[in-house]
């Protein structure tokens, strides 16, 4: 019948149908927005999604062999309270019982749950780091504790603390300042972040990805859905460090309880095999209930145990700087290495008498013997009369002094390479010849860190190259153990100094061991060593100096088979010239595969007391 209608009639019917549908939709929209709008608005206010974060475990940290964990996660719990689930008349009773189980004052809970939120159905965390036995007690009394629940919150457990504390660092709750910086990277107000050391440097790898539990709740926060949607957390990546745990322990025992630091690295790659700074601290205190008080004590400790002396303190390099002086003299052809300078034990300059460390004098010395005997008069003369401060400063910077070593730790100092311009700006005084003489023997304004001195001796070993020192070796997947990232050697500095110069400096450093001042403490039957000592004068310490030793071994091996060591024992310790002994023990232990006790016995140092105390 429709087909028999005229065309105009068909168009009219179609238009009427469309008009009817249009008014039908308008009426429906009017009904939803105006007639039933208030109901829909109320419903939207009373039903929403609640998302709870499930914390992810941080990645674990291992030594270079990837077998011995340094840091793991220990199962722990956080106790939470949903205030709205506690009947108002039972609030004080419930919170008092809970405080008793947790071993805290009720006031602590009341401060976290003020009266303004006691009808809320959002969970509030009242205590973290709760052990399993406490959770068991709470669970057994759950009927008397409405609104109380708990979630798993792993705690960092540092298995090997002591000297590793400065390397690995520690974690803590994120601060408002950190949150401002890290918010866009997925961090939340409940995040645990690295504060120092590797924990901070590689926090993005270790952090992991939190999971989520999504539930439908009403306006009060009460869950109204039976089955929440759960996205499981993903554990952070595992880190493999370049640190060798056996060498770290050897260095730790060799330094003993003497204030100072020691660094062992592979010169051909920049891998740090050990880094010890004493005194140290226990990283586990930062997850204890008394962490604030314990941290305050560490901050106020005059021995500064929180400071990593290997990279965060700089010292006068003393006579170890004569390595740089010798290199500069040879490369500049400033003074023939075979020509001799007479040392009479003192040098008169500018109306002042400068005394060599051997007051009776060394007699006539060429460069090789000047270095071996560490003659101050020889280097005073070379520095003042033949090199000058500008060239001295230039070569010091070429060896890495006065700038960051770029090691993968979050905090380090650059030391100081002084110049005439620097002194004018700093003290408004002219540079004097006496200043040049002081710098020529690594005293005065010159400062460097133990790591910078390790790099200095590595440059000699590598004949002009310094590789960027690093502690991270690999990043691995925690599930498959697949290597995600591998740290490759990176050239930090490449010198243009002639190979013949390096050969002559190397020979002089070996001669220093066989015929120089440290020949007894550095005597070693297992391996040939090349080294230089240093004793730095320090104001305020009578008859005591910083004791330095920088060395590489084996002298007769290619750079890829060598290790470099830099050790400092501060002047605050009882003077015993310990740095040479400690360094030889370290080298003996590494190449003879011996423990500290075995090494001192093999070296004939058995009479030495490894627990000799520092000066208080």
> What would the pLDDT profile of 401-419 be if each residue is shown by its tens digit?
999 999 999 999 999 999 9
Pick the closest to residue 477 from 59, 181, 126, 123 (CA basis): 59
d(CA 313, CA 448): 8
**Token digits of residue 259:** 């204030």
Residue-level pLDDT at 200: 96
pTM: 0.85
Per the listing, tokens 């590689």 go with 202
What does the pLDDT look like over 34-85, one tens digit per residue? 666 566 555 544 445 555 667 788 999 999 998 889 999 887 888 888 888 8
- Residue 473 near residue 241, CB atoms below 8 Å: yes
Q: What integer pLDDT is reported at residue 471 of this predicted model?
A: 98
SS3 at position 230: strand
Residues 180-189: b if buried by 16+ CB within 10 A, e if exposed: eebeeeebee
> Which residues are within 8 A (CB) of 369 and not within 5 positions of it... i.e. 6 or more apart?
362, 375, 515
Which helix (DSSP H) or strand (DSSP E) does residue 187 occupy?
Answer: none
Cβ pair 447, 534 in contact under 8 A? no
Q: Which residues contact 89 (CB under 8 A, 6 or more apart)?
A: none
DSSP letter for each residue of 411-479: -----B---HHHHHHHHS----HHHHHHHHTT-TT-BB-HHHHHHHHHHHHTTSEEEPPBSEEEEE-TT
The span from the CA of 505 to the CA of 330, in Å, is 9
440 touches 379 (CB < 8 A): yes
Alpha carbon distances (Å) from 5 to 2, 10, 17 = 5, 6, 16
Cβ proximity of 54 and 210 under 8 Å: yes
* Residue of 564, 573, 527 lying closest to 546 (CA atoms): 573
The pLDDT value given to residue 108:
87
- Among candidate residues 418, 448, 440, the one with its CA nearest the CA of residue 430: 418
Residue 492, pLDDT score: 96
Phi then psi for residue 212, to 5 deg, are -140, 145
Tokens, residue 177: 């300042």
94 in Cβ contact with 86 (< 8 Å): yes
Nearest to 567 by CA among 278, 280, 370, 369: 278
Q: Quick one: DSSP state of residue 615?
A: P
The tokens for 118 are 């006691």
- Ranges of residues in the chain whose predicted pLDDT is under 50: 44-47, 610-616
**Cβ 325 vs Cβ 383: under 8 Å:** yes
């Amino acid at each position: 019948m429709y087909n028999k209608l005229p065309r105009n009639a068909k168009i009219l019917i179609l238009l009427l149908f469309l008009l009817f549908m249009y008014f039908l939709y308008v009426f429906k929209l009017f009904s939803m927005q105006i007639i039933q709008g208030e109901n829909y608005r109320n419903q939207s206010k009373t039903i929403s999604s609640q998302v709870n974060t499930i914390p992810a475990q941080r990645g674990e940290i291992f030594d270079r062999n990837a077998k011995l964990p340094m840091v793991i996660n220990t199962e722990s719990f956080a106790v939470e309270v949903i205030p709205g689930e506690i009947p108002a008349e039972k609030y004080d009773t419930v919170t008092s019982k809970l405080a008793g189980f947790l071993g805290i004052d009720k006031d602590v809970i009341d401060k976290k749950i003020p009266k303004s939120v006691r009808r809320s159905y959002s969970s509030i965390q009242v205590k973290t780091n709760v052990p399993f036995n406490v959770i068991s007690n709470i669970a057994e009394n759950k009927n008397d504790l409405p609104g109380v629940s708990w979630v798993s919150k792993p705690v960092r457990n540092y298995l090997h603390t002591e000297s590793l504390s400065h390397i690995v660092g520690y974690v803590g709750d994120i601060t408002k300042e950190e949150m401002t910086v890290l918010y866009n990277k997925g961090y939340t107000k409940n995040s645990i972040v690295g504060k120092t050391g590797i924990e901070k440097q590689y926090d993005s790898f270790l952090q992991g990805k939190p999971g989520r539990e999504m539930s439908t709740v009403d306006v009060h926060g009460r869950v109204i859905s039976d089955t929440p949607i759960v996205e499981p957390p993903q554990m952070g990546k595992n880190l493999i460090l370049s640190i060798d745990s056996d060498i770290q322990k050897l260095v730790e025992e060799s330094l003993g309880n003497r204030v100072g630091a020691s660094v062992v690295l592979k010169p051909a790659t920049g891998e740090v095999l050990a880094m010890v700074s004493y005194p140290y601290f226990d990283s586990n205190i930062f997850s204890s209930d008394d962490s604030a008080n314990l941290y305050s004590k560490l901050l106020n400790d005059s021995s500064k145990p929180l400071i990593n002396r290997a990279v965060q303190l700089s010292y006068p390099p003393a006579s170890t700087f004569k390595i740089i002086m010798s290199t500069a003299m040879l490369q500049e052809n400033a003074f023939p290495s075979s020509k001799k300078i007479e040392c009479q034990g003192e040098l008169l300059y500018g109306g002042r008498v400068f005394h060599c460390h051997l007051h009776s004098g060394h007699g006539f010395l060429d460069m090789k013997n000047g270095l071996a005997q560490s003659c101050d008069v020889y280097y005073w003369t070379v520095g003042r009369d033949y090199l000058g401060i500008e060239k001295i400063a230039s070569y010091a910077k070429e060896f890495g002094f006065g700038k960051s070593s770029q090691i993968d730790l979050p905090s380090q100092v650059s030391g100081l390479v002084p110049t005439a311009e620097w002194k004018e700006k700093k003290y408004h005084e002219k540079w004097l010849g006496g200043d040049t003489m002081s710098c020529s023997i690594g005293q005065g304004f010159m400062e460097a860190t133990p790591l910078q001195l390790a790099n200095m001796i590595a440059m000699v070993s590598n004949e002009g190259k310094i590789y960027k020192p690093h502690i991270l070796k690999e990043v691995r997947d925690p599930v498959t153990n697949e290597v995600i990232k591998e740290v490759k050697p990176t050239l930090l500095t490449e010198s243009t100094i002639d190979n013949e110069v390096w050969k002559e400096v190397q020979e002089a450093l070996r001669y220093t061991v066989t015929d120089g001042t440290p020949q007894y403490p550095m005597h070693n039957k297992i391996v040939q060593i090349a080294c230089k000592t240093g004793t730095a004068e320090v104001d305020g310490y009578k008859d005591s100096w910083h004791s330095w030793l920088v060395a590489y071994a084996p002298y007769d091996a290619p750079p890829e088979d060598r290790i470099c060591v830099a050790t400092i024992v501060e002047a605050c310790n009882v003077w015993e010239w310990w740095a040479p002994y400690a360094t030889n023990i370290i080298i003996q232990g590494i190449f003879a595969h011996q423990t500290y006790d075995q090494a001192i016995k093999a070296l004939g140092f058995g009479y030495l007391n490894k627990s000799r105390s520092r000066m208080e």
